[in-house]
Amino acid sequence: MTAIQLKRWNISLGDGQPLVVIAGLNVLEDLDLALEVGRRLKAITAELGLPYVFKASFDKANRSSIKSYRGPGLKDGLAMLAEVKKQLDVPICTDLHEVDQAEPVAAVADLVQVPAFLVRQTDLVVAAARATAAAGGWLHVKKAQFQAPWDCKNIISKAREAAPDLDIILCERGSSFGYNNLVVDMLAIGEMQRLGVPVTIDATHAVQLPGADPRTNGGSTGGRREGVPIIAKAAVAAGADGVFLEFHPDPDKALCDGPSALPLDAAEGLLKTLKAVHAAVRN
Alpha-carbon span 216 to 30, nearest angstrom? 23
The catalytically annotated residue of 55, 60, 143, 158 is 60
The catalytically annotated residue of 110, 167, 213, 257 is 257
The catalytically annotated residue of 26, 95, 143, 158 is 26
Alpha-carbon span 106 to 112, nearest angstrom? 6
Active-site residue 26, yes or no?
A: yes
Active-site residue 283, yes or no?
A: no
Active-site residue 257, yes or no?
A: yes
Positions annotated as catalytic residues are: 26, 60, 257
